């Protein structure tokens, strides 16, 4: 039986002047063998309403039932909060530390997370799509991520702006 593992998740959010987001953020950690730990709810210390303030770093500790191995990806799921305004959040980065091993993984996000989003972000060692070490489930996650980015940058869906190569979705 595998031992329990303690994960420390640090989320660094973007700056939004005097405004908080009340998104409910859940993080699932994914290993290279496609094992998952979580979902872990990122609860804020500000009370019942989840508030992730601008330029605020939040640190969360989780005990997982099992050691899933080396973490290579993070799934971020955003549920809607109580208010209908400010239900999006800019996340700069997420750092995951496996406390007992002393391993730390930095995942650059630099993206808006909006209500209903279920996004996968990859960190660690970059790999090529034809790498034999990638499992089928990891390839599926990467394909879904590529499909998301292609839908964002699909210039046929959005009106072209004169003088620019394509129209991009706002708040990406």
DSSP class per residue in 74-86: EEEEEE--SSSS-
In this structure, is residue 24 part of a structural domain?
yes
Number of domains, the chain: 1
CATH of the domain at 107: 2.60.60.20
Mean pLDDT across the chain, nearest whole number?
71
**What does the pLDDT look like over 35-73, one tens digit per residue?**
888 787 766 555 444 444 444 555 566 666 677 877 888
In this structure, is residue 158 part of a structural domain?
no
Residues 6+ apart with CB under 8 A from 131: none
Task: Please state the rounded mean pLDDT for residues 98-113.
Answer: 83
| Main-chain dihedrals φ then ψ at residue 70, nearest 5 degrees | -70, 125
Predicted TM-score (pTM) of this structure: 0.71
In this structure, is residue 168 part of a structural domain?
no
pLDDT over threshold 50, residue 18? no
Domain range for 57 is 5-127
Q: Rounded CA gap, 104 and 94, in Å?
A: 11
86: helix, strand or coil: coil
pLDDT over threshold 80, residue 2? no
In this structure, is residue 163 part of a structural domain?
no
pLDDT over threshold 80, residue 23? no
Q: Two tokens at 99? A: 């406390």
Q: Two tokens at 128? A: 């090529």
């Amino acid at each position: 039986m595998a031992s329990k593992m303690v994960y420390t998740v640090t989320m660094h959010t973007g700056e939004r002047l005097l405004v908080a987001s009340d998104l409910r953020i859940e993080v699932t950690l994914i290993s290279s063998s496609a094992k998952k730990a979580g979902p872990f709810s990122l609860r804020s210390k500000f009370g019942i309403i989840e508030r992730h303030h601008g330029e605020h770093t939040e640190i969360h500790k989780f005990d997982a039932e099992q050691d899933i191995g080396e973490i290579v990806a993070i799934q971020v799921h955003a549920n809607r909060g109580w208010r209908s305004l400010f239900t999006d959040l800019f996340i700069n980065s997420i750092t995951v530390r496996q406390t007992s091993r002393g391993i730390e993984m930095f995942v650059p996000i630099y993206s808006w997370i909006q209500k209903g989003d279920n996004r996968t972000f990859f960190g660690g060692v970059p790999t090529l799509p034809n790498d034999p070490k990638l499992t089928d489930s990891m390839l599926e996650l990467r394909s879904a991520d590529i499909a998301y980015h292609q839908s964002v940058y699909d210039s046929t869906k959005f009106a072209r702006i004169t003088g620019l190569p394509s129209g991009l979705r706002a708040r990406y």
